[in-house]
Chains A and B, each alone.
Chain A
Amino acid sequence: MSDLLFGIVSTMGKLAVVVSALMGTVSVMTWVERRVSALIQDRWGPNRVGPFGLLQPIADGIKFIMKEDITPADAHKPIYTLAPALALVPALCAFAVIPFGPTIELLGRRIDLVIVDLNGGILVAFAAASLGVYGIVTAGWSSRSKYSLMGGLRSAAQMLSYELALTLSVMGVLLVAGTLRPMAIVEAQGGWFWNWNAFRGGGQPLGLLIFLVAGYAETNRLPFDLPEAESELVAGYHTEYSSMKFAMFFMAEYINMTTSSALAVTLFLGGWQVGVPLPFEGWSLAILQILAFVVKVGFFLFLFVWVRWTLPRFRYDQLMNLGWKGLFPLALANVMLTALLVAFGLVG
């Protein structure tokens, strides 16, 4: 098989695996969200459809497909229809640079388990986060409803503000690793688990904390979900959407959560590294490493749901204060401290 054909087939295979894994994660997350939130609130949650309510996502999917698709008469139809796609596509694209496994050998050739290994790889994730704002802003505006517009603008302002803290918190990791390639960042965190960037290996516990908080704000999850919670109180940016279009926003939010968790795992917690030096090689190690990645991402997704039902919601001005006057200077201080540590050779 020629190199080009092998390259195309392997990339298609990786794409199929990642996209199906993401869609599967979305449906599992709907169940996890409802079940875990119910158990935290001392009630049962979905337990009728299948054992432990495990077939609930299928029921939800059927409901979304069968629901009537209502479009407000006054809405700007082209942009109203485009907005869910604008929200979903960047969310999916961010996963193109996240390595979900080591380099494996297949048919005598090496495949990196990452869809695209760009030289500035981490920037693709931030580019996708930046482009994700468009879906929200256009959804809010095209619904031609006062409350949708306010919700959309607030959400966009929140996402823009926390993008700064998000990017700066990652800067420390990039200083330590010396490269922007996610695969290289993960490979540098090999060996024992204290080699990971959140611990002694990179000295970035503060970076991880800032990244998580900024990640919650970027994905519009509690405690920063005022743009969506307005739909409980007044209205939010996806209030005029129904059926499949709403489902696309829903999916975009869960995929953003997964990307955020996967980025945190890749940058701060060793990606697919198992954290314990193992004596064996080859396929069994590769499968164990992919499993390690899945478990770590799953833990952060569980953390998303856990925090949602534990902390109260921030008011909008408190939110903006925290972003600009709290997280941003803290992230800057983290970068300066890391730069000093790297210059004196204490880390990296």
Chain B
Amino acid sequence: MQLLAFFVLSLLALVSAIVVVTHRNPVVAALALAFNLVAIAGFYFLLDAQFIALLQVIVYAGAIMVLILFVIMLLNLKQELGGRPSGIVPRVLAPVLGLVFAAILGRAFLSLRGGFPARAPGYGTVEAVGREMYTRFFYPFEVVSLLLVAAMVGAVLLAKRRL
């Protein structure tokens, strides 16, 4: 049952990632990325990280991707012009990366043996993550909130028409 879920989720995640990377229309690419993020959240559920999975859906798929979609529609971006990319780096790097990708994928589906150790009780729950966060990681937590304030101020300043 878990194996089936893993297969389905990886198929969905990889197909939507390929759509993100190749589709001409940026809105379709953004929707495919949102779908990919929900598939990754599915992976997190499969790995018993319930709290982080729900956070991923709420924050990543539900807020960040909507923001990106907003900006795409605001700027009224048309389909990207295709055409062969110029320069040696894209022309050499891309095929090489493609081959690497194919090799990785082939390897992935040949190595399904092994498993995870038994799950600790209370792993992945809100209480477990919260306890770690507010004891060991309290200082990074506060610093990240400062970073968010800085990002907000920066974004508002950058996007203003007149300072």
A interface residues (Cβ-Cβ under 8 A, vs B): 76, 78-79, 118-120, 123-124, 126-127, 129-131, 133-134, 137-138, 140-141, 149, 152-153, 156-157, 160, 163, 180
Contacts and interface: CB of A to CB of B under 8 A. Distances in A.
Nearest to B56: A127
Given A79-B27, A134-B31, A153-B74, A120 B54 contact: yes
Contacts, number: 66
A153 B126 CA distance: 33
Nearest to B52: A120
Nearest to A118: B50
A118 B54 CA distance: 10
Contact of A156 (B27, B51, B70, B126): B70
9 contacts: A123-B58, A124-B54, A131-B57, A134-B69, A137-B66, A138-B31, A152-B73, A156-B70, A163-B63
Contact of B126 (A126, A127, A138, A180): A180
Interface residues on B, range: 20 to 34
B9 interface: no
Contacts of B28: 78-79
B20 interface: no
Interface of B: 25, 27-28, 31, 34, 38, 50-51, 54-55, 57-58, 61-63, 66, 69-70, 73-74, 124-126
Contacts of A134: 31, 34, 66, 69
A102 B34 CA distance: 36
A120 B31 contact: no
A102 B73 CA distance: 46
Contacts of B27: 76, 79, 138, 141
B23 to A, nearest CB: 11
A342 B43 CA distance: 36
Nearest to B38: A131
